[in-house]
Structure 1
Amino acid sequence: MTTALGVITARSFIGEISTMFGLAEFNPSSEPVSNFVKALCAQPGINCFDFLTAVTGKNCCLNASTIDFFLKNEPQPTSTKNFVHLGQTVRDGMIRKFDYGTNKNLAHYGEAKPPEYNLGNIPRELPLFISYGGQDALSDSKDVETLLDHLKFHDVGKLHVQYVKEFAHADFIIGTTAKDIVFNKIVTFFKNQQ
């Protein structure tokens, strides 16, 4: 994750703090979370003037009407545990199972540290479509390339990779060109897997 807001959020243990206050749901539009975000946005080096860009990266292909529609419906709440797990992943730089702390990890996993997810266990014959963007600050290109390295022995014809240099995170969802660049290719990919 390359967005300054995302990194400082993960490193600030905001998810863990929310859990301590008994918040099971991390709702970005709730007052406690909104106050956290405002405090983070006041930190030096953090520019939240364009909040969507501060979170997702510089999107190329959005217009005012799609952004307005998006912001009426997003961001959606998530489990605080999901948010904590994301923070753990960013801080550790590893894709591991949830870290409950040493004692609970021992009880849960039989070891002090949570085990890493073995991406090599992804079935080689499983059809996968991976589309990623060069401007995406949430699904950073380096992380996707690490994933692709784990998939280098995937069956030919079962893995389709699309790189869109100018796309950031929201462009894949609500970009004005997403239908032609991404959605149609996904539909074709699934039709070819039948």
Structure 2
Amino acid sequence: MVKGYFLFALFNRGPEIELMAIACQTKGVNCTDPFSVVSGKNCCQNSSAESDMVAHGLQSSASKNMIHFAQMVTRGTITMFDYDNKDENKKHYGQTVPPVYNLKSIPNDFPLFLCHGGADTLADVYDVQHLVDTLKDHAGDKLMVRYIEKYGHSDFLLGVDAKKEVYDPLMAFLKLH
């Protein structure tokens, strides 16, 4: 068993571990770094903070949440949960297919700070650009988009320079609004 996968298995049970097992058998997937399997390669993680996250931070997720995430990824949609049953969808949503989340319903004057990285495979550059394009009518001073090319998904939380790259600009933005 690969070391990183073993650490992940210690702290997780259920469908997530099965998903991880499948991912780790995929050619080109590096399971010595369990975070990068789903979120991309990170550049700047603080190794002591990473140890804390492995020891305390890995939490399982509800199966329905994981299925919903997988539905949106595989279908390329941003919709509510699909019960894969027209009657169930009709009962929950009043229609046979799950409704699309209306991102344009975000008020144009609501302050939004979007920060993304070039190596992040969960919030990849194309998806963030799609969101930014959807928000094109947003008030200019209420929308800040910050791109950090070298950052992967976990770098935003565990990056040794995250304070300077992410949190200082975020706090400055929040102070303005």
- State the TM-score, normalized to the length of structure 1: 0.79
**Is residue 111 from structure 1 mapped to residue 95 from structure 2 by the alignment?**
yes
Residue deviations 1:96-128 (CA, integer Å, cap 9, x gap) = 011112111112212111111111111001000
The 8 Å contact of residues 117 and 147 in structure 2, kept in 1 or not, is answered as yes
Which letter maps to 1:112?
T
Greater shift, 38-47 or 62-71, is seen at 38-47
* Displacement of 1:165: 0.6
Q: TM-score, normalised to structure 2's length?
A: 0.87
Match of 1:38 among 8, 21, 24: 21
Aligned to 2:158: 174
Structure 2 residue 78 is matched with structure 1 residue 129:
no
In 1: Cα distance, 2:49 partner to 2:104 partner: 38
Mean Cα deviation higher: 54-63 or 90-99: 54-63
3-state SS of 1:99 partner: coil
The farther-off stretch of 153-162 and 49-58 is: 49-58
Shift of 1:167: 0.5
| DSSP-derived class of the 2:147 partner | strand
Change (3 A) 1:45 1:181: closer
Amino acid at match of 1:71: V
Q: How many residues align?
A: 167
Q: 2:129 matched to which residue of 1? A: 145
Question: Given residue 56 of structure 1, which amino acid in structure 2 is its aligned partner?
Answer: S
**Gap runs ≥5 in structure 1:** 1-26
Q: Secondary structure at the match of 2:156?
A: helix
Relative to 1, partners in 2 of residues 1:35 and 1:150: Cα closer, same or farther, differing over 3 Å?
Answer: closer
> Partner of 1:96 in structure 2?
79
